[in-house]
Amino acid sequence: DTEVTQTPKHLVMGMTNKKSLKCEQHMGHRAMYWYKQKAKKPPELMFVYSYEKLSINESVPSRFSPECPNSSLLNLHLHALQPEDSALYLCASSQVQGYEQYFGPGTRLTVT
Amino acid sequence: GENVEQHPSTLSVQEGDSAVIKCTYSDSASNYFPWYKQELGKRPQLIIDIRSNVGEKKDQRIAVTLNKTAKHFSLHITETQPEDSAVYFCAARDGGATNKLIFGTGTLLAVQP
């Protein structure tokens, strides 16, 4: 398996909802990432896990909560989001932190 | 920290022509420079990368060159085809403790048939 998969593809949630995004890879990669991407902008790093430990938190608001249950899975728990949080959320993985990152297809999130 | 500038922001070429996208970086400790292609509605796709101990790398119609002294690197696409139309992002790996990728602002390439 040479792909990063993400579910769901699309998500619409209200500002009081709680939802989770899921990411999975079976390439044996030890680093996993969450990025946020707005239209016509580059991906913006949110979190990095290396060997299942949180390595980087780019001062992301606490309404976003990452979790790495094991080396193949990465979750992003969402709570009390704002409309400006609407974006494409991309997961990525790499064998070594910072090198050769492979992206999943993303979750298109709309907050109403 | 690292800063990456990318030019041009848009580029239109005729099918069969060459396209060149340029990026500059600020941190001389950066050692890894990937290029991503993102088609509309799709994921960023790693198309080629180069490490700081190499000056040039080619893969069929695409090549990347790196000038460490000037701190710039470029993507070259030859014999462009309509399917090359996409947004291209350059990136540099931060040479500091974070090892994160710093992305350029992107180039929208349009290949006219």
Angle at A77 between CA A48 and CA B99, to 5 degrees: 5
CB contact under 8 A, A105 and B104: no
Q: What is the pLDDT of residues A76-87, one digit of tens each?
A: 999 999 999 999
CB contact under 8 A, B44 and A104: no
d(CA A62, CA B63): 41
pLDDT at A73 over 70: yes
Q: Find, among A44, A38, A20, A39, the residue nearest to A92 by Cα.
A: A44
The pLDDT, as a whole number, for residue B95 is 82
Report the mean per-residue pLDDT for chain B. Answer: 96
pLDDT band at A1 (very low <50, low <70, confident <90, very high): low
Q: What is the pLDDT of residues B18-36, one digit of tens each?
A: 999 999 999 999 999 999 9
Q: Does residue B113 contact residue B82 with C-beta atoms inside 8 Å?
A: yes
Report the mean per-residue pLDDT for chain A. Answer: 96
Please give the residue that has the higher pLDDT: either A44 or A1: A44
Stretch A54-80: mean pLDDT: 96
Residues of A in contact with B103 (CB under 8 A): 42-43
Show the low-confidence residues of chain B (pLDDT under 50).
none
CB contact under 8 A, B49 and A100: yes
Q: Does residue A22 contact residue A105 with C-beta atoms inside 8 Å?
A: no
